Structure 1
Amino acid sequence: MESTFVHPGMSDEGLAVGAALAVDAQLNGRPPQPRLLPNVYLGHAYGDDEIARVLADAGLEATHLPGRVET
């Protein structure tokens, strides 16, 4: 195997992207041409304390939901 392509949209958003790529391939008569991503950095991760502080500064209260998934 020379290379592997893993799409960064590995959840429901990947369905819409995949559908758009399929239509593009049908209309243009060629498969999608994936580009190399230099990284998959999606931005800064904010902790609970930081989020609560920003909300408090805006006059809002944070509510923790039960069953939340930790990432």
Structure 2
Amino acid sequence: MSKRAEESRLYQQLGYRGWAKHKGYGMRWPATEGIISAGKRIFGESVKSHKKRNMYQEAKLMFWAYQQLRGV
């Protein structure tokens, strides 16, 4: 039996709520989500760069600056 078939059977047996609780589905990483949210509040949701490489660099720089502001 494939992994997908096993998961489907488990879902059918437990129902959505039971399956979600069993798998931890919907649980976000609070620290990660909080850091990303704070970074977006301070610096905005977008970057100015057009090239993908520069976008990554700009995002890294934003999170570096966020860490400096927090004193981490």
TM-score range, shorter chain: under 0.3
Output the TM-score relative to the length of structure 2.
Answer: 0.23
Name the structure, 1 or 2, with higher relative contact order (CA <8 Å, separation 6+).
Answer: 2
Output the TM-score relative to the length of structure 1.
Answer: 0.23
